[in-house]
Amino acid sequence: MATIPRDLGSPFNPDDPIDRAEFEGFAADVPNTRTMIQAVQTPPAIPNANSVRAHKLFHPNFIALLQDLPNDADFPTPDEVVADVILSRSGRRRDADIFPPNDPNANNGIRVWSFRDDEDLLPDRWPAPTIRVREGDIVHTRMSNSHGPHSIHHHGIEPTPVNDGVGHLTMEIGGPHDAEDGGGEYLYQWKAAEAGTYFYHCHRNTVLHFELGMYGPLIVDALEPPGETELVAPYADGGPGYTLLENAPTRYDKETFWVVDDIDLRWHGVEGDNIDKDFGIQALDAPGGEFTGGWQNIPVGGLNDFNPSFFVVTGVTIGEDGVIEQPTQAQMDRNDSLGALYEFVRPTIAPGEKLLIRALNASYCTTVWRFPTSIDGWVTAVDARTLGRDSAANPKHRFGKYSQAFRLSDLPLVDGHRQFTLMTAQRWDILIDQGSATTHQVLVEFRHWLNYELVLHTAILPVTVGQTG
């Protein structure tokens, strides 16, 4: 039997029939929310061997509960408690249009996959609608699908394993015939334990589904300071609100999400129709366990063949000259969120106001962020962990003060800019509090994911500080 290198040294005995049965189970199809109950109820072929890998995640009392449920029921949430916030998201195959550079008539729109907010009936948009909650909230995210199977992984949140949404590890939401059988649902349960910038995404066939657009911002807002009654978390996208500067709730006046991404048109195909959502998932009957799947008329060798065609920031196209392209009426007719997103990623503040930038690298490139010396501010958080927050101010932080916030001006000066690097999925929170009255240009270099020295494109992201008076 083939050995996976990461399993070397693990307590796996291939001569033990139970160990072998459970090991081989990891190559089996993952049950979805409907078939998980049936899988748990099915006696294993070898006594005492778990029939599905997720079996070990559940308490025996919960397993006993599943034995009494009908096979077509949706999988219940283990240890469910009363939630402070209940959200609804559904996975969609064709949800919003984006456009390559120099396409004013919207003749070459590309459909991205995304999530829809079914509860509030918000318009389709990409990135998907923001999930925004207060620090300390218990949250339920109800997930369904019209195109599955998919999952939701609340990236950076630390829930129980079954609520972590990692496809091919626990379970997936919906099946291959969602339109006919309704697709199934699951109620993810998690706690918003730490204020910061997160995001949520599909974690089923992650490399493909993330590139195709299945992600959105997730913000856990810092609580308002004692005595504040007018501005209360959760705050609206764009501000105003409060963030944490070390231990202190600090007000910001404006907010922007700079979510940079790269688009390989071959991966998306023509209108998103000629792509197999299972491409790249291991085929059980393939020689040597090779990864297979179906591209249809797409000239690409596999998920290691990625070469971006163009670049976007928070769903808005970055032109060939690096400037964010203003959407045309024809484009907004096909995607009515583009106009608002265009203004959102080009923030303007008055002198003395504070701007909170939430920067996320959603691309597969390595991104180098270069801030001009004409503006300055605090780097308050990295990957949704507030720098300098200590146990004296928050008893649940038992590790003491092991970091501190720092200024952009503390970063190395390279060619007249203060720069830092974000790899895929990394986030920084930056609180701009100083800048002359002009438009400042922040540069984001997209460097090839294999060859760091190769700069594929440079985006110019503006921050405008208005004139006094």
Predicted confidence (pLDDT) at residue 259 exceeds the cutoff of 80: yes
Contact 443, 460 (CB under 8 A): yes
> What pLDDT score was predicted for residue 293?
46
Distance from CA of residue 43 to its chain's centroid? 37
> What pLDDT score was predicted for residue 290?
36
For residue 315 the two structure tokens come to 């769903």
> What pLDDT score was predicted for residue 3?
44
ω into residue 159 within 30 of 0, thus cis? no
> What pLDDT score was predicted for residue 291?
39
Going by DSSP bridges, is the β-strand pair 348-349/455-465 parallel, antiparallel, or unpaired?
Answer: parallel
pLDDT digits (tens, 9 = 90+) for 19-29: 777 766 665 66
In this structure, which amino acid lies at residue 95? Answer: D
In this structure, the chain runs to a length of 469
pLDDT digits (tens, 9 = 90+) for 369-378: 999 999 999 9
Q: Three-state DSSP class for 382?
A: strand
Distance CA(369)–CA(327), nearest Å, equals 24
> What pLDDT score was predicted for residue 99?
92
Q: Which residue has the higher pLDDT, 126 or 25?
A: 126
Q: Which residue has the higher pLDDT, 69 or 400?
A: 69
Go through 186-199 and write b for each residue having 16 or more CB atoms within 10 A of its CB, e for each that does not. Answer: bbbbbbbebbbbbb
Of 56-65, 247-256, 283-292, where does mean pLDDT reach its minimum?
283-292
Which residues fall within 8 angstroms of residue 121, CB to CB, at 6 or more apart? none
Predicted confidence (pLDDT) at residue 39 exceeds the cutoff of 70: yes
Predicted confidence (pLDDT) at residue 167 exceeds the cutoff of 60: yes
The 8-class DSSP code of residue 84 comes to S
> What pLDDT score was predicted for residue 283?
44
> Among 130, 126, 128, which residue's Cα sits nearest to residue 96?
126
> What pLDDT score was predicted for residue 6?
44
> What pLDDT score was predicted for residue 63?
82
Predicted confidence (pLDDT) at residue 357 exceeds the cutoff of 70: yes
> Which H/E stretch holds residue 24?
helix 17-25
Runs of H (alpha helix) within 147-290 = 178-181, 206-211, 265-268
Specify the CATH number of the domain 226-264+306-469. Answer: 2.60.40.420
Which residues fall within 8 angstroms of residue 104, CB to CB, at 6 or more apart? 328, 330, 331
> What pLDDT score was predicted for residue 2?
43
Domain boundaries along the sequence of the chain: 5-67, 226-264+306-469
In this prediction, residue 271 has a pLDDT band, given cuts at 50, 70 and 90, of very low
Distance CA(83)–CA(189), nearest Å, equals 8
Of 258-267, 305-314, 454-463, the range with the highest mean pLDDT is: 454-463
Tell me the whole-structure pTM to 2 decimals: 0.89
For residue 85 the two structure tokens come to 């916030």
Inter-residue long-range contacts of 279-284, CB under 8 Å, 24+ positions, other chains counted: 279/205, 279/208, 279/303, 280/205, 280/207, 280/208, 281/168, 281/205, 282/27, 284/27, 284/28
Distance CA(197)–CA(459), nearest Å, equals 22
pLDDT digits (tens, 9 = 90+) for 404-425: 999 999 999 999 999 999 999 9
Predicted confidence (pLDDT) at residue 210 exceeds the cutoff of 50: yes
Contact 127, 111 (CB under 8 A): no
Predicted confidence (pLDDT) at residue 54 exceeds the cutoff of 70: no
Predicted confidence (pLDDT) at residue 69 exceeds the cutoff of 70: yes
Predicted confidence (pLDDT) at residue 194 exceeds the cutoff of 80: yes
Distance CA(327)–CA(341), nearest Å, equals 10
> Among 159, 231, 224, which residue's Cα sits nearest to residue 190?
159
Predicted confidence (pLDDT) at residue 469 exceeds the cutoff of 60: no
What would the 3-class secondary structure string for 297-360 be?
CCCCCCCCCCCCCEEEECCEEECCCCEECCCCHHHHHHCCCHHHHHHHCCCEECCCCCEEEEEE
Predicted confidence (pLDDT) at residue 46 exceeds the cutoff of 70: yes
Question: What average pLDDT does the segment 32-41 reach?
Answer: 76
> What pLDDT score was predicted for residue 110?
86
Which residue's structure tokens are 């010396």? 373
Rounded mean pLDDT of the chain? 84
In this prediction, residue 230 has a pLDDT band, given cuts at 50, 70 and 90, of very high
| Secondary structure percentages of the chain, helix, strand, coil, to 5 | 15, 35, 50
Q: Which residue has the higher pLDDT, 324 or 280?
A: 324
CB neighbourhood size of 454 (10 A): 11
